[in-house]
Structure 1
Amino acid sequence: IAKYPIHNLTRISATRKQHSKTTNSPTVLAFGNPTPTKIDLPGAEIEAKTIVEKLSGKHLIREKATLASFKTESSGFPLVHLATHGCFQKGGCPGVGLEENTILFANRETFNIADAALLGLENTDLIVLSACQTAMKADSNGEEIAGVAYLFERAGADAVIASLWNAEDGITKDIMVKFYKNVKEGMTKVEALRQAKLGYVRENIHPFYWSPLILIGDGSAF
């Protein structure tokens, strides 16, 4: 990462033809800290608000971060940001009360990633799963997250950012805010994420804290 931007490919993103991009900053639909929840995510709430301040768009936080809004509004935004709990490990995540491959929304409603094709994401450049508990077990090889990205790509999204293990709420917030600042300045998705992490590399912060967020799919500009 100190020398090169890195992104990962699924079998869909490896063969998909890139479409022409606009030069305008993308609009974002950001969900943050849906309530009630077993584990509060105050950083996620700040994250969603700050992202919309950086870019134009709409944020839905706490009780307004509903599954119905996700289903009906996601297709209208090129960038969808989910700062909430998610579970992508086999056997589920009892600590946050989630079954395997689900994302938490307000009123304890959940969305199963297997239903992503119903969202109509053909115009979506990026789905961000900026969740504290998008967690992998210690012996995971990353196949679970690759599977999640594959389902979103099959639904039409160009790329996915997700976490390989439990991400620290505050650092995740800071990385994502820097990422969107870089996007607004015109960087490609993959370079924007790289630059957002490099400060931690220079400060010799342990990779455990800054490295779990990865980009899967099209790393080009919006």
Structure 2
Amino acid sequence: MTEYRQMLQSGDSRYRRLSATLYDHLIRPVAAEIEALNPQQLAIIATGSLRQFPFETLRDSEKDQFLLQQYPIHYLTRLSSRSLLASPSPSPFLNFPLWTLSLLLGIIGMGATVKHHWKLGGTLLTLALVSTTFLPRFSGGYGVLGFANPKPQDPFNLPGTEAEVDALLRLAPESEIYRHHQATLEVFKRQSSRHRYLHLATHGCFQQLGCCLQETCPDYQPDMKANTLLFADGEYPLADAALLGLQDTQLVALTACQTALQTNLDGDAIMGMAYIWERAGARALMATLWNVDDAATAAVTTEFYRLIMEEGLSKVEALRQAKLSQSHRHPFFWSPLVLIGDPR
């Protein structure tokens, strides 16, 4: 699994062999039962090193298809698993039934039976099947709050992220977009609870010793502290996000480098980060598993928002189709963006 992740991150074309092997270990044992239930999406709960690569890239060698070509895929934390079983909220996005093949962490209900969760090399994988019907397009505004390229100087410059927020403005002219010196912590903390979508196209550091954004860090001083997001006037400690009050927020998108890069050997950081945003009230998090290509990420996120805002698709289906639009390329370009939490 470690070798496979490295191949995805480096653009190594030999990933296909390992991709098929992992599919045979993780998916093929239950593939027939999955097909029989005809789910409209897969929800994955994994531990340890299974959290460190996107299941979307696993390839069925018999069909010559990625798992993503067969199903929309998202991931669940302990908190989002429970929220899916809670009473539906008045939001028009939150009314669909769930049928699950297996549930983890003591969650029981809705006629679910625990059938398939198994260990592989000390890690635990649970697969959930979700059936949903797509809902009509939401008639209200989308209220996107976007931040991009807050420090347009090296080593922090992220010019490609500005294409992401430009596309957001075209899709939703009522969006509030801040870039360069305007993308401040003060604005973020004041405005974040007023919007349904938060798009943070900035650096995030989730390595235990901090992040070096250059080739070398002089005197071993990192450019960013651990577990922070970069704004024009400073770094925002991720732990403070739980205090933002995001009960009306459908999605927090962190699309720049290293936003979901694991900090611990067991890969807990990505779920820990998602858990914090969920505690703040956000329904879901979209983040990246490794350093991303600016142009490819802009293409995926632009199509993602278009499919939500113009076609009325759910978050998970929109991300699937946006990724498939780039799937002719190596998974390095399209697979690192993952959806964690409520897919609706």
TM over 0.5: yes
1:141 is displaced (CA, Å) by 5.5
Match of 1:132 among 247, 251, 257: 257
TM-score when normalising by structure 1: 0.92
Q: Residue 2 of structure 1 aligns to a residue in which SS?
A: helix
1:219 aligns with 2:286: no
Show the counterpart of 2:272.
147
Show the counterpart of 2:295.
170
> Would the alpha carbon gap of residues 118 and 198 (structure 1) be closer, same or farther in structure 2, given more than 3 Å must change?
same
Amino acid at match of 2:226: E
Q: CA RMSD in A?
A: 1.8
1:120 aligns with 2:245: yes
Match of 2:194 among 65, 76, 81: 76
Show the counterpart of 1:41.
158
Matches within 5 A, 1:98-117: 98-107=224-233, 109-117=234-242
Gaps of 5+ in 2: 1-67, 93-137, 215-222
- Does the 8 Å CA contact 2:146/2:178 hold for their aligned counterparts? yes
Match of 1:32 among 138, 148, 151: 148
Q: Deviations over 1:106-141 (max 9, x none)?
A: 13x011110012211111111000112426369966
Show the counterpart of 1:50.
167
**Bigger CA radius of gyration:** 2
- Does the 8 Å CA contact 1:29/1:57 hold for their aligned counterparts? yes
Q: Deviations over 1:9-68 (max 9, x none)?
A: 000000012423232352200001002542311111121121122123110011111010
Show the counterpart of 1:208.
332
- Does the 8 Å CA contact 1:85/1:132 hold for their aligned counterparts? yes
TM-score when normalising by structure 2: 0.60
> Would the alpha carbon gap of residues 140 and 33 (structure 1) be closer, same or farther in structure 2, given more than 3 Å must change?
farther
Give, in whole Å, the separation in 2 of the partners of 1:52 and 1:145: 29
Show the counterpart of 2:308.
183
Flag the structure with more relative contact order, 1 or 2, with Cα contacts below 8 A and sequence separation at least 6: 1
Match of 2:91 among 8, 21, 46: 21
Amino acid at match of 1:131: A
